[in-house]
């Protein structure tokens, strides 16, 4: 709770505050006033005369940005970040599935989770939507690690009830039961900072029965859903063969009832106009992962077309498809792939992500009353990270 009685701190630096895709407010210099764990306001006028008891921190010529929001990232692939190449389906079978199977070991899963959340915050990410492995225990450990770190996350146990290696294959009922137990235990925990997200991996590895169950559960409980859509040409063709009665890849998820405004679909590269209309009608959020798309040679998401159609778009690092957890690097990739200015890439990495996760009233920029999650950037590197006003990284 932030009240006027809380300890105030004034951070002086260049402050960049994203307001919309086509608008950022710059304060050079600016004063970010933090009261307790919340943003009080940003101002160009030196507030010290009016706040004589506030702590003053002069960050010189460094820059303050909102904490980054990574809306598509695989914790279970952290151990193979930067490893491997090839295209999606080969890459999954050769590198990804064997690594994810290792998370059946709770000691290994706990170690990966700890290291993952450390690396995430070191890179300035203070909120994320995360894919765990299929394992219930590993996912439970991931929530505990996120809670220990104190950041906001949505985490989901990956669901796969067909077309997966034996070690990662689940019975439909077991997959649902495990996911529901995790949802009951963690959704809304840690003062609402932890959320569960139902995570059917993609239509290739899920039966229609599984996806329909997920769709109904999510609608009944107002729960989040995340999955992959239309990443790679071979994958699109394969999914069309698996679901011959559906008119398109997006139609598979639509007929399962998974598409809502609480749904985050990664990639969305090879979509038809009808598919774009379907996503728009359902207010689905699109996680744009340009670095992963380049690395796996998946193609280029038609960013401007999707944006101009009215879809909410955010950024995802998609490790280990992408080789880096750094949202600053992801922003550079987005600028090239989508032909957009840095300010728009910053919006995608912050407020766009907050909107995708239903959190734009809490995080994403420096509006008064939001959580004081911010990063201090120096020459394009993250130097310091604050979560709700608390210093968690850097010096």
Q: Which residues bind Zn ion (CB under 5 A)?
A: 318
The residue among 66, 64, 2, 107 whose CA lies nearest residue 346 is 66
Q: Measured in whole angstroms, how far is the alpha carbon of residue 310 from the centre of its chain?
A: 20
State in angstroms the smallest separation of the CB of 321 from Zn ion: 6
To Zn ion, the closest distance from the beta carbon of 201 in angstroms equals 9
CB of 205 vs Zn ion, minimal distance in Å: 12
Residue 288 parent element (H or E): strand 285-288
Nearer to Zn ion, 30 or 352 (CB): 352
Which is closer to Zn ion, CB of 27 or CB of 198?
A: 198
Closest to Zn ion by CB, 32 or 168:
168
Name the minimum Å distance from CB 228 to Zn ion: 6
Span between the terminal Cα atoms of the chain, in Å: 26
CA distance 207 to 101: 20
Q: What's the closest the beta carbon of residue 76 comes to Zn ion, in angstroms?
A: 10
Indicate the residue among 157 and 388 with the shorter CB distance to Zn ion: 157
Q: What minimum distance in Å lies between the beta carbon of 231 and Zn ion?
A: 8
Question: In whole angstroms, what separates CA 314 from the centre of its chain?
Answer: 8
Q: Which structure tokens are listed for 358?
A: 């239903």
Q: Pick left, alpha or beta for residue 362 (phi over 0 → left; psi -120 to 50 → alpha; otherwise beta).
A: alpha
Q: Which is nearer to Zn ion, 140 or 318 (CB)?
A: 318
CA distance 105 to 123: 27
Q: Which CB sits closer to Zn ion, 73 or 145?
A: 73
8 A C-beta contact, residue 96 and residue 120: no
């Amino acid at each position: 709770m932030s009240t006027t009685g809380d300890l105030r701190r004034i951070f002086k630096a260049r402050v960049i505050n994203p307001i919309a895709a086509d608008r950022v407010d710059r304060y050079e210099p600016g004063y970010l006033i933090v009261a307790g764990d919340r943003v009080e306001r940003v101002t160009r006028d030196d507030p010290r005369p009016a706040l004589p008891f506030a702590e003053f921190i002069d960050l010189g010529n460094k820059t303050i940005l909102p904490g980054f929001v990574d809306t598509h990232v695989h914790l279970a692939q952290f151990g193979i970040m930067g490893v491997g190449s090839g295209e999606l389906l080969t890459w999954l079978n050769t590198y990804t599935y064997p690594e994810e199977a290792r998370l059946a070991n709770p000691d290994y899963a706990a170690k990966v989770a700890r290291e993952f959340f450390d690396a995430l915050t070191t890179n300035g990410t203070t909120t994320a939507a995360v894919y765990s492995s299929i394992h219930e225990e590993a996912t439970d450990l991931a929530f505990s690690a996120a809670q220990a770190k104190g950041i906001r996350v949505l985490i989901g146990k990956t669901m796969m009830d067909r077309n997966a290696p034996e070690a990662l294959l689940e019975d439909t009922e077991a997959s649902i039961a495990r996911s529901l137990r995790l949802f009951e235990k963690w959704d809304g925990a840690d003062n609402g900072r932890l959320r569960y997200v139902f995570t059917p991996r993609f239509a290739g590895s899920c039966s229609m029965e599984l996806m329909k169950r997920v769709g109904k559960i999510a609608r009944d409980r107002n729960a989040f859903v995340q999955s992959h859509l239309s990443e790679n040409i071979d994958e699109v063709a394969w999914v069309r063969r698996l679901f011959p009665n559906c008119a398109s890849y997006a139609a598979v998820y639509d007929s399962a009832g998974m598409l809502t405004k609480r749904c985050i679909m990664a990639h969305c590269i090879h979509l038809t106009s009808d598919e774009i209309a379907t996503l728009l009608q359902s207010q689905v959020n699109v996680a744009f992962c340009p670095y992963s798309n380049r690395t796996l040679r998946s193609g280029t998401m038609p960013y401007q077309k999707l944006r101009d159609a009215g879809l909410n778009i955010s950024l995802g690092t998609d490790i280990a498809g992408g080789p880096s957890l750094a949202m600053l690097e992801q922003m550079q990739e987005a600028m090239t792939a989508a032909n957009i200015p840095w300010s728009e890439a910053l919006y995608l990495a912050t407020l766009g992500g907050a909107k995708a996760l239903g959190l734009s009233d809490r995080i994403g920029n420096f509006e008064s009353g939001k959580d004081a999650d911010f990063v201090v950037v120096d020459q394009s590197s993250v130097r310091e990270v604050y979560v709700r006003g608390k210093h968690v990284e850097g010096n």
